[in-house]
Amino acid sequence: MATCACEINACALCEDRMYPGLTKEQVCQIRERLIREMYEPHEVLFREGDPAAFLFALRSGQLKLTSSMPDGRQQIVRIAVAGQLLGIETFKGQRYPFSAEALTDVVACKISHDDLRQILEASPAIALRVIETLSQELDQAESLIRDLGLKTAPEKVSSFLLSLIPQRGDPSAELPLRLSRREIAEMLGLTEETVSRVMADFARKKIIGSGKGYIRILDRKWLEETNGVKNKASSAGRRALSGHS
């Protein structure tokens, strides 16, 4: 079989699970439509309002997604990490709703919407896998909205730190953190002083470790419990035991 343009399991668009029931040759033909690109920090993959032509799968690195405010300021929407898809919002040929800028060195695979549409129409099984991936993206977006409206400052910061963990790789490894405290505060709807205080408290409790430009999560379980993961599971369990839906 010919060498594919993108290695197996290298990104969300290359994973074997995306192509159930297809032969290796068919999978390779699909992968050959992928374009792999590399970006340096501060390079822009696409800008808000640009005609949307590609779906991107972030293979490594971090992206800052921003949207323009009425007063001209740039609001950080979220940080995209390895394993996530970008651009599906514009699958019908619309314009990108936000800008994507590399925070670190980035490797991304992209595929044109026209090529992706042909693949999805030809294989319902692949379409289902794409839907599952996008469902995960939607869950993350809903979580961010919930964070801004309901959670306490430590819960918001915990959620932000957990969002930096790539979907693949070692969660205990050093994670790039190229945003200032002010940028994190604006994204989470907090003051810069509050973010600094919470981060310092987490470091003092050995929940996180940090250095210039990076952070290391030392106690992921604590962050998940603070973020409500344990409480949600317990609540679901109580509903099941009591017979409530």
Query: Regarding the domain with residue range 16-147, which homologous superfamily does it belong to in the CATH classification?
Result: Jelly Rolls (2.60.120.10)
The first and second tokens of residue 31, run together, are 């992968």
Q: Binning pLDDT at 50, 70 and 90, where does residue 236 land?
A: very low
- Calculate what percentage of the chain has a pLDDT beyond 70: 71
Q: Please state the rounded mean pLDDT for residues 43-50.
A: 94
Is pLDDT at 227 greater than 60 in this prediction? yes
What's the pLDDT at 240? 34
Q: What is the pLDDT of residues 117-162, one digit of tens each?
A: 887 787 777 777 777 766 766 676 666 666 666 789 999 999 899 9
- pTM score: 0.76
What's the pLDDT at 166? 87
Tell me which CATH code domain 152-242 carries: 1.10.10.10
Is pLDDT at 84 greater than 80 in this prediction? yes
What DSSP element (H or E) covers 45? Answer: strand 44-46
Give the mean pLDDT of the chain: 79
Is pLDDT at 17 greater than 50 in this prediction? yes
More confident residue, 215 or 73: 215
Domain boundaries, the chain: 16-147, 152-242
Q: What angle do CA 158, 187, 110 make, to 5 degrees?
A: 95
Residue owning tokens 């409530």 = 244
Distance, CA of 156 to chain centre: 16
- Calculate what percentage of the chain has a pLDDT beyond 90: 37
Q: What is the pLDDT of residues 193-202, one digit of tens each?
A: 999 999 999 9
3-state secondary structure 170-225: CCCCCEECCCCHHHHHHHHCCCHHHHHHHHHHHHHCCCEEEECCEEEECCHHHHHH
Distance, CA of 155 to chain centre: 19
